[in-house]
Amino acid sequence: MLKYLIGLLLFFPAFGYAGEARSVNFAAFQIVDKDFEFEAIVEGKFSDFIAEMKGSQILALVHTAGAIDGDIITMQTSVLRDNDGSLGDFGVDCQLNFKDESEGEDTSYLLGGVCRIIQVGNGKNLRTVLIIPHTNIPDTAQGFEGWFMLDEDEATGIAFYANVSLEH
CA distance 124 to 80: 14
Give the pLDDT score at 20. Answer: 76
Burial class (CB in 10 A: 0-12, 13-18, 19+), 48: middle
pLDDT over 90 for what percent of the chain? 62
Q: Where are the beta strands (DSSP E) in the chain?
A: 22-31, 41-43, 56-67, 72-83, 86-100, 109-121, 124-137, 146-153, 158-166
Give the pLDDT score at 166. Answer: 81
Q: Which of the two residues, 47 and 105, has the higher pLDDT score?
A: 47
Please report, for the chain, the start and end positions of each structural domain, with discontinuous segments joined by +: 23-166
pLDDT in tens, 64-118: 999 999 999 999 998 887 767 777 778 999 999 999 999 888 889 999 999 999 9
Give the pLDDT score at 97. Answer: 97
Q: pLDDT category, 167, cuts 50, 70, 90?
A: low
Give the pLDDT score at 168. Answer: 58
